[in-house]
Amino acid sequence: MTRTRLTAAALLLALGGCGSNGGQGGQGGPGGQAAPPPPPVSFVVVQQTPVSLTTTLPGRTAPFETSDVRPQVNGLIRARSFVEGDMVRAGQPLYRIDAAPYEAQVASARAALARAQSTIASSGALARRYGELVKINAIARQEFENAQGSAAQARADVAAQQAALRSAQIDLARTTVRAPITGRIGRSLVTTGALVTNQQTNPLTTIQRLDPIYVDIQQSSADLLRLREQIMSGKISRDGAARVRVRLETGNLYPIEGTLRFADVTVDPTTGSQTIRALIPNPKGLLLPGMFVRAELPEGVQANAMLVPQRAVGRDERGNPTVMVVGAGNKVEVRPITTSRTQGDNWIVTTGLKPGDRVIVEGAMMLRPGMPVTPKPFSDKPAAGAAPAQAR
């Protein structure tokens, strides 16, 4: 019974559909509905504008200065005078080495100097007396010359003992190991009671100066060559020293700008990259050696750049970039373009467009070449002429 009712209902629907088609003559016929209006699209007008080009490159932080603290005399460590991880100043005492042997050497050197000074007094007086006697031929000339030689030797002995005393005093002073530079000190690699020597290879500790701090950046030689060619051709202009901004691993921008210091004179053959070094102020010690950062480097200014939103650029079957343009009669045209790089949310277009072209940004999904459209300006116009942003 149920099956019979369903069949009857289907038959009635089929008959109703036939009657409707027969009365209206089909869509588009003499009795059909009107054609739909052209689909709406949003466009941006291509304009030439100066663009500050920047590039983002990976980098690692490195200390401005590094000093391995090593002993210059032999002995036992008697005391450590710093807290690991603290800031230390140049000349600040760090370790005290047993000074007793070196105090004894200083005392011995002082005694030897006193003995030499007493000898010089007597030998000098003898040489003066012999000088008077030789004038009257009271003594042989040889005796006078011997006395002069003894006086000269005594003076030389005094000079040697003075140098020995100075050397002993230097060694005694070196029993206090002092910080060679100002910076943050690391952990101590020796403890009280350890025997250290002036020939050991391991340092006692390490001091690093972190304000300012270096950022070593890697740039490919191909990108560097391209930039130099564009500068030489006049497409990009540069002025003054390049400023550098650093973006941290958290994604936040470091608040203080730095400057480029130098670029390495050689290219690493294994990576094809060149090292660029930037100097960044680090007054609060936020940047530490070995951190991974991204450096944003200004490359220059491109005077007449044409920017197109990335969302407006498609690809053909070969993967080449294309855009849809509102052409004459508000009909769609497909334009192949070439791009050089991204600039924020835009592509920098080098060929394929001219100023004044209307590039479709929204509504291009179902469009075909030659199809009429209803164009209207894109509401977010700054996207087509946006302020300079990060380039990749």
The CATH number given to whatever domain includes residue 113 is: 1.10.287.470
Q: CB-based contacts of 24: which residues, under 8 Å, 6+ apart?
A: 31, 32
Query: What's the confidence (pLDDT) of residue 136?
Result: 76
The reply to whether 138 falls in a domain is: yes
The reply to whether 199 falls in a domain is: no
The CATH number given to whatever domain includes residue 360 is: 2.40.420.20
Query: What's the confidence (pLDDT) of residue 236?
Result: 56
Strand 374-377 and strand 40-45: pairing? parallel
The reply to whether 330 falls in a domain is: yes
Asked which of 155, 173, 191 is the last residue of a domain, the reply is 173
The reply to whether 337 falls in a domain is: yes
The reply to whether 111 falls in a domain is: yes
The reply to whether 160 falls in a domain is: yes
Asked which of 151, 173, 195 is the last residue of a domain, the reply is 173
Do 308 and 379 reside in the same domain of the chain?
Answer: yes
The reply to whether 317 falls in a domain is: yes
Asked which of 124, 146, 173 is the last residue of a domain, the reply is 173
CA distances from 329 to 38, 303, 367 (A): 12, 32, 15
CA distances from 15 to 18, 25, 45, 179 (A): 5, 16, 54, 103
Do 44 and 108 reside in the same domain of the chain?
Answer: no
Query: What's the confidence (pLDDT) of residue 356?
Result: 92
The number of folded domains in the chain is: 2
Domain span holding position 143: 100-173
CA–CA separation, 127 vs 118, rounded Å? Answer: 15
DSSP element (H, E) containing 131: helix 100-135
pTM of this structure: 0.65
Alpha-helical (H) ranges within 237-391 are none
Burial 284-320 (b: 16+ CB within 10 A, else e): eeebeeebebbbbbbbbbbeebbbbbeebbeeeeeee
**């400023």: which residue's tokens?**
243
Query: What's the confidence (pLDDT) of residue 365?
Result: 84
Please list the pLDDT of the chain residue by residue as tens digits (392 residues). Answer: 444 433 343 433 443 444 444 444 444 444 456 778 889 999 999 999 988 888 888 999 999 999 999 999 999 999 999 999 999 999 999 999 999 999 999 999 999 999 888 887 777 777 677 677 767 777 777 776 777 787 788 788 889 999 999 999 999 999 999 999 999 999 999 999 999 999 999 999 999 999 999 999 888 888 777 767 766 766 555 555 578 899 999 989 999 999 888 777 788 888 888 888 899 999 998 999 999 999 988 777 888 889 999 999 999 899 999 999 999 999 999 999 999 888 888 999 999 999 999 999 998 888 889 999 999 998 864 444 444 444 44
Q: How far apart are the first and last CA of the chain?
A: 72
CA–CA separation, 318 vs 366, rounded Å? Answer: 20
CA–CA separation, 271 vs 142, rounded Å? Answer: 80
The reply to whether 155 falls in a domain is: yes
